[in-house]
Structure 1
Amino acid sequence: MKKIGVLTSGGDAPGMNAAVRAVVRKGIYHGLDVFGIYNGYQGLMEGKIEKLEVGSVGDIIQRGGTKLFSARSEAFKTDEGQQRGIEQLKKFGIEGLVVIGGDGSFQGAAKLTAKGFPCIGVPGTIDNDIPGTDFTIGFDTALNTIIEAVDKIRDTATSHERTYVIEVMGRDAGDLALWAGLANGAETVVIPEKDEPFAAVVDRLKRGHERGKKHSIIILAEGVGNGIDYGKKIEEATQFETRVTVLGHIQRGGRPTGFDRVLASRLAGKAVDLLREGKAGKMVGIQNNQLVYHDIIEVLKESHQLDMSLYQLMEELSI
């Protein structure tokens, strides 16, 4: 293999630039030509492809977002769209592709591999919801963004003796909410994986108030419900003054942490190794701090499993 490509797809995540940099520089180190594909699969179909040099990825390791930009593409989900993408890759002589993104991005990589074009997936999503890896690129940075925000909110919650509901990202996965809740000492965490009755949340707040607690923090994963509506319900049920903060897309931006920079570099470097070894249709990951890889199709059949022992610990510590 002499020429490989790299693209980022789906939602951006801090550390994606570090991954792109690693693909480009490791590829060049081993004598490969590396091409950047802009705007994800949409850009692939449109031929937005250029050769990248060592200097092309200079000074990006510390930046959030993605130098290659990202986009969602309904057209690429079709057989025709995938064939257009392969034609563009062949036009530039590209023989293998590194795809950095989440499960939707991996679906595309699996389709290309099934059509005879080798792809390797690198998990990049703040939700940390990809099976087969302990951590995904961007999760640690997003977590630290939430922690910093909640620390500041707790200051004002304490000063005004209020209950605060803080809505964080996590449509189908509660990792961000749970880890942030544990790190911030939240009184309650509401996540998709745990069907806790609303009455139990109210009882916990009231018990705390009865023993003299003047403020509380509730962290709500967006997949469970709307933070503003949840806050109104809390105030109506408890008669405690309640405020709501929706952190939104602030969680997806910012300078990646050292952990995410190293993780992205390791995973992307492994992806280049797999292409050089003739592997295809694989996803790289990290488990017990060791680099691993799995068949993308098998990964997509599985569902993400949250470590519920962390939830139990959070409940034990938030009495």
Structure 2
Amino acid sequence: MSRKNQTVVTEFLLLGFGSLNGMRIILFVLCLLVYVMTLLGNITIIILISTSQLLHSPMYFFLCHLSFSDMMLTTDIVPNLLHIILEGGRTMPFLECIIQFQLFGASTGMECLLLSVMSYDRYLAICNPLSYVSIMGTKLKHHLVLWSWVLSFAITLTIATFMSNLHFCGPNVIDHFFCDYVPILRLSCSDTRLLQIVDLVLTAPVTLLPFVLIIISYICISIVILKIPTGTGRQKAFSTCSSHLTVVCIFYLSLIAIYLIPSSGKSVIALKILSFMYTVITPSLNPLIYSLRNQEIKATFMKMFCFRYKI
């Protein structure tokens, strides 16, 4: 059938969690509570780091941007998800769908790059402490964050531009709760081979390469920690990077489960649950992990809370 005789699709119908319509109210309340908790937790982290001199170090500067990236990710997904849950689905214009993918991809790429930058920061602090201040100066930390934002947005914008040129002439139903890359491609009646090649070439440096750098950094850190003669010294050194390592494990396990395990090995509902964990739950956990496992953040929070309470 020629493209002239086919209906051109200009909007998509997102089904969300259609099979869980009987739990619509519970799911809505859960998502709303988690979203509010995510915003409050990450905003608190940003305020603490911005106002406390104790937290004016490169590690917390990077954490501040990680919190902003988490808020961008969850704000891109959750408000639309709440709409879908209430209405039992939602029709989304093609342009809005592409913009949602752009923000989702940029925040994911930013988190990959930022986590690798944070692992490099921990590597310098533990393996090369005498040169840490001179290397990780004001200019370098700002340049690392700036280039992380620029690269993540530029790469996702390139992919989104290719996607905006695709033709859709068949079904317009996306059995998901947001406009992810694979569900959109499956609906296209265009040849997507070039886009898939571009996607692989562009995303590998901001996903797989940072993961490799993180592994190398922690191998070096582990070697140095094991050489510390006292148990107290080893525990103190490990405690400085335990929060970051926990976040890295949660983040990359989610990505691997969603995008690297073949789709044939996952049901639709399993994919939705994994995506829900990654886009909704994980951003709410990061502030808890960093606050509960970090003595400086806990001390700063208690100091600020007690000061406000006395006033």
TM-score bracket, shorter-length normalisation: under 0.3
Where relative contact order (Cα < 8 A, 6+ residues apart) is larger, the structure is: 2
* TM-score, normalization by structure 1: 0.27
